Amino acid sequence: PLHNPANITGINACTAVMGKDVPQVAVFDTAFHQTMPAKAYMYALPYEYYENDKVRRYGFHGTSHKYVAGRAAAMLGKKPEELKLISCHLGNGSSVTAIDGGKSVDTSMGFTPLAGLPMGTRSGDLDAGILQYLMNKYQLNIDDMLNILNKKSGVQGVSGVSSDFRDLENAHKEGNERAGLAVDMFNYGVKKLIGAYAAAMGGVDAIIFTAGVGENSASQRLAIASDLEFMGVKMDAEANNVRGKEVVISAADSKVKVLLIPTNEELMIAMDTAAIVKG
């Protein structure tokens, strides 16, 4: 509902300029996650809501997760089919994906991009009973409530400062405890998903950090990957002190590699488009 009308406007504009003979390809961020098994994408709702209304987990950021998974395989000198990867796309919108053998098997976003981690202004997962409680107490309708969950929550809502993690870091240094709490909650959420997805896949070969926060915040990468020694993760603080470069940031003797890979969704879209147009 948020993005598709703008995309359709673009399609119509291209058709008007180039005519109907020029092929156009729609690349959906949900496509990569279509390999998830039913046990991962189903919600425990009455089954008819899935049958009749297609209510299920779709997942997002698929273009990014697919791109960095391919780059991770190249960096490690392996085929995608040989690897179990956990891809952490962390930014104003954030999601974590379990990638087993080159295919998405679970992801943190759901029916909409509102699910999963707390984000810049999105709440992420919460107890649905909270909605009824707040709506009744403050006479909110569902549109009001969703506006709060999408635009006034997340690290912005907790901190009261900003949806930008750079602002939160600066505010915390100046003594703002809520700013620090917001970042801690986010980092903790990512760490829990890494543990969950390693369990779901029966192991992990590499953890990938990408997107705005993942590529640029050395402190958050270190906070997320610390205390994961029990599962074979050992960070190299010096190697991690970098921004926006394709590099291994774990220690040489780390059993699980930790990779920093700048995402390139535009390139992935172009590659997918070329492949589809060529048939």
Domain boundaries, the chain: 4-120+162-278
- Find the catalytic residue in 29, 106, 205, 272: 29
The upper half-sphere exposure of residue 86, i.e. CA atoms within 13 Å in the direction of its Cβ, equals 27
What's the whole-number average pLDDT of the chain? 97
pLDDT at 3: 80
29 is catalytic: yes
Alpha-carbon distance of 87 to 136, in angstroms, equals 39
pLDDT in tens, 132-148: 999 999 999 999 999 99
pLDDT at 2: 75
CA distances from 137 to 99, 145, 203, 204 (A): 42, 12, 45, 45
Predicted TM-score (pTM) of this structure: 0.95
CA 128 from chain centre, in angstroms, equals 21
The two structure tokens encoding residue 164: 């930008």
User: For the domain 4-120+162-278, what is the CATH code?
Assistant: 3.30.420.40
Give the list of residues 6+ apart from residue 262 with CB closer than 8 angstroms, or none.
210, 215, 244, 245, 246
pLDDT in tens, 172-224: 999 999 999 999 999 999 999 999 999 999 999 999 999 999 999 999 999 99
The two structure tokens encoding residue 106: 């679970």
Alpha-carbon distance of 1 to 146, in angstroms, equals 13
